[in-house]
Amino acid sequence: MNLKIFEYGRLGQPTILFLHGLGVSSWMWQEQVEALQDRYHLLAVDLPGNGESYKAEWVSFVDTAVTLATIIRERASSGQAHVVGLSLGGYTALHLLANFPELVLSTVVSGVTIRPFPNTLPYKLMPKIMSHIMGWGLTINLMSRMMQLPPEAKPLYRRDSKNLSAKTILRIYDEVLDFTLPAQLRQLRPRLLAVAGEKEARLVLESLPDYHVVATAVTAVIPNAHHGWNGEFPELFAEMVESWVGERPLPDGLLVQPANPQVLALA
């Protein structure tokens, strides 16, 4: 699968792989790239069916993880990478970690629910509606305002929205609605940080404690933040990534959640 790959920073330094959300593409990481490229080797990939990879068919999360594993082997320093994913990128990152743990040094995911949706009917209708209206000018303008996109990002968001196909949306949602944390992560004991904005969807926030079935997982909430908070608080997001990659204390702007002993007992 031929995906668009953007590369920045210093070759030979630790590699961080950024995976974007649905309906956008690698441009969403620009402020994090600018903050980190002097000290790290950075890769950002447009996922299948999205951005400049819109002609590549989205098959499944596992299929995408296989492709990303090849990219890490071929492009990352020493053939390993720290992986950062938001929303769609977060689900993808968890599949990559579960299936290719030897390639992943650490993982940060944001805005991912690991509980199946309790009532799937409305959510099965939503992607069908989205697939029809994503390319509308009114929808694009509304979503641009909701995501607080800077003026220079709006043409890129408009491009990505128009190129996102109904097939891609429906296939992704089919997997997301039933998504649970891959079972093998309990045995792997990876370095996993799962975060959510305080103003995220309720199901995302409620599922945060469930990550602690992985005994080594850390979870945190970002006050006053929405789903796409890397754009709302870009400096804090970059600081979080650098702290996690460098195995240093997380920044004060994150409210680290205590592990639930009942959940830990299942680990």
Domain of 224, CATH number, reads: 3.40.50.1820
Extract the tokens encoding 82: 């720290």
Determine the average pLDDT of the residues in 34-62: 97
pLDDT tens digits along 141-169: 555 555 666 677 778 888 888 888 888 98
Question: What is residue 26's DSSP assignment?
Answer: G
Determine the average pLDDT of the residues in 108-125: 81
Coil/strand/helix, residue 45: strand
* 61 domain residue, yes or no: yes
Give the span between the Cα atoms of 110 and 230, in whole angstroms: 9
> How many structural domains comprise the chain?
1
Confidence of residue 67 (pLDDT cuts 50, 70, 90): very high
* 138 domain residue, yes or no: no
Task: Count Cβ neighbours within 10 Å for each residue of 170-208 and write b for 16 or more, e otherwise.
Answer: ebbbeebeebebbeebeeeebbbbbbbbeebeeebbebb
The pLDDT value recorded for residue 156 is 85
* 156 domain residue, yes or no: no
If you compute the radius of gyration of the chain from its CA atoms, what whole number of angstroms results?
17
Confidence of residue 245 (pLDDT cuts 50, 70, 90): very high
Extract the tokens encoding 45: 């990939």
Handedness of CA 79, 67, 53, 176 (dihedral sign): negative
Confidence of residue 45 (pLDDT cuts 50, 70, 90): very high
* 129 domain residue, yes or no: no
Determine the average pLDDT of the residues in 231-239: 96
* 58 domain residue, yes or no: yes
Host domain of residue 37:
5-116+178-264
Determine the average pLDDT of the residues in 90-111: 98
Whether the pLDDT of residue 2 is over 60: the answer is yes
* 233 domain residue, yes or no: yes
Whether the pLDDT of residue 123 is over 70: the answer is no
> First and final CA of the chain: distance in angstroms?
36
